[in-house]
Amino acid sequence: MLLEQSIANYLSLQPYEYINTETAEDGKQRLLHLKSTKETEDVQCPFCSGHVHICGNYSMRLRDMPVYPGTRQDVEANYHRYRCQKCLRTFSEEIPFKYPQTRITERAASWISSFLRFNIPITTVQKITGVHWDTVKHLHKEVMAEAIAERKKELAKNGYRPKHLAVDEFAIHKGHKYATCVMDLDEGDVLWVGKGRTKADFSRFFQEIDMNYLSEVEAVAMDMNASYNLLVTEHLPKAKIVYDRYHMQAQFAKDVLGVVRLEEARKHSAQARKMDEEGFSKAEVKAEKRLYSEVKGARWILLAGRDSLSEEKSAALMKILDDHADLSLCHAMKEEMSRLFDLRDALEARTGWKAWFEGAKASGIPALVRFAELKEKRIDGLVAHASHPISTGKLEGFNNRIKVAKRIGYGYRDEDYFFSLIQYFSISSVKYKSPKKT
Ligand SMILES: [Zn+2]
């Protein structure tokens, strides 16, 4: 029979012999019985090379590849346990067609791995093959490690060295668990992912990476609020620190524009209350209350770039700015900050940032003064953006991919697995063939 013949071929190099096949009545399950034919004289003790004798016969059931879709095939392999006559230790005979650290056959493993190489979601692979989640995950880890090593080899072959890096944190679970991620901005490869976001957590990057690979790094983009800069200066003294414009602008929006806007709104609301008490007309109180709502609701138009506003919104913005001097000043500072980040001349940028900080500190607006005092020390990293206009934006964009990785893998339950997924999905050859939706 063809099938038995193929099993014989499959096992031809093994000291195993095919006995029979048990088929369930509905034909959906097959169990192949195989028996070890190894001669005891050919076995040596792995500890002392002494002679052995059989001290037990056992069997192990392995999941095999099904012959027809929708069916299941298992292999029951009989094997021996031996005792050494010299050192008396016991050991089991290896089953050569068993895939290491799993309960599946070699050929089932390569079947499953081929699905995984095409980035078929792991839950789908599990459904198709009926193999346990842990086993599929184990194989997936191997497929990914292989691809990551392959990628490293490919880059090393051309003597490649990244010139621009980005480092940033991201949340694993909403808000309470973080990881730190380092990306090669030139190629888009994630070089490293590690648990936590402290300085100590990030220091592991420099311990784990081949420093020679980083020998040509010119600039590293990062959030200025993190303490990454200290370690980068220590380990990559030639690299420039570039503070990420998006983090800086977002913080300005929140800590300055947001605070001043709410402060102005609060003034209107207090004024309306006072007018009410002092017997102003209903219409006058109502007008004051409308001002309160306008300012409170102006978050978006204050943050938006002028070009993106409609005529109507633009007029609303002008009105608010005309009526509120502090807001108007902060809004102008926001626009100027954006312009400074667009500069590509370091000297011009330094002059510009200096003027920006002086202006901010002289404004008398507490939130703006505080912001300027905090950031002024970091001026070098802001100026560096002119010569190295890099940001952590690419890494942030990669966050979406991380979300897909989470869906495909439920990977965050096993952090090492999840971190491998992130690295794996950053490889360009993987990026373009992975499914967008699962
Ligand atoms: Zn022995």
The three-class DSSP label of residue 349 is: helix
Give the pLDDT of residue 123. 83
Q: What is the mean pLDDT of residues 275-288?
A: 93
- Mean of all residue pLDDT scores within the chain: 89
Instruction: Give the Å distance between the CA of 80 and the centre of ligand 1.
Output: 16
Q: What is the pLDDT of residue 437?
A: 42
Residue 109 banded pLDDT, cuts 50, 70, 90 = very high
> For residue 155, is pLDDT > 50?
yes
| Cβ atoms 179, 425 nearer than 8 A | no
List own/partner pairs for 342-345 with CB under 8 A and 24 or more apart. Answer: 343/386, 344/386, 344/387, 344/389, 345/386
Least confidently predicted of 217-231, 237-251, 395-409 = 395-409
User: Has residue 412 got a pLDDT over 60?
Assistant: no
Angle at which helices 133-157 and 415-426 cross, to 10°: 40
Residues 75 and 60: their CA atoms lie apart, in Å, by 8
| Ligand 1 centroid to residue 293 C-alpha, Å | 86
Collapsing DSSP to helix, strand or coil, 134 comes out as helix
CA distance 268 to 296: 10
| 368 closest CA partner among 248, 255, 263 | 255
For strand 219-222 and strand 164-173, is the pairing parallel, antiparallel, or unpaired? parallel
Distance 51 CA to ligand 1 centre (A): 7
Residue linked to tokens 């200290």: 230
Residue 152: Cβ-neighbour burial (10 angstroms; 0-12, 13-18, 19+): middle
Six-digit token pair at 339? 């312009």
Distance CA 197, CA 63 (A): 42
Lowest mean pLDDT segment, chosen from 53-57, 91-95, 107-111, 417-421: 417-421
Give φ, ψ of 150 to 5 degrees. Answer: -60, -45
Predicted local confidence at residue 427, as pLDDT: 87
For residue 372, how far is its CA from the centre of ligand 1 (angstroms)? 75
- Distance from C-alpha of 312 to C-alpha of 342, rounded to nearest angstrom: 27
38 Cα to the center of ligand 1, angstroms: 18
Give the tens place of pLDDT for each residue, 82-106.
999 999 999 999 998 999 999 999 9
**What pLDDT, on the 0 to 100 scale, is given for residue 124?**
87
Residue 436, pLDDT score? 46
* Every domain of the chain and the residues it spans: 2-98, 164-244+391-431, 245-387
Taking only the tens place, the pLDDT of each residue in 44-62 is 999 999 999 999 999 999 9
Output the pLDDT for position 67. 81
Work out the percent of the chain whose per-residue pLDDT is above 70. Answer: 92
d(CA 241, CA 132): 47
Side chain identity at residue 251, one-letter code = Q
C-alpha of residue 48 to centroid of ligand 1, in Å: 4
Strand partners, 21: 32
Cα of 83 to ligand 1 centre, how many Å?
A: 8
| pLDDT, tens only, 337-396 | 999 999 999 999 999 999 999 999 999 999 999 999 999 999 999 999 999 999 998 888
3-class SS of residue 24? coil
DSSP string, 258-275: IHHHHHHHHHHHHHHHHH
- The token pair at 253 is 């929006």
50 Cα: distance to centroid of ligand 1 (angstroms): 5
Ligand 1 mean position, distance from CA 58 (Å): 21
CA of 95 to the centre of ligand 1 (A): 20
CA of 123 to the centre of ligand 1 (A): 45
Task: Say which CATH superfamily domain 164-244+391-431 falls into.
Answer: Ribonuclease H-like superfamily/Ribonuclease H (3.30.420.10)
- Examine the pLDDT at 26 and tell me if it is beyond 50: yes
CB 410 within 8 A of CB 185: no
Rounded to the nearest angstrom, the distance between the alpha carbon of 44 and the centre of ligand 1 is: 8
Distance 225 CA to ligand 1 centre (A): 61
Best CA proximity match to 148, nearest among 437, 435, 416: 416
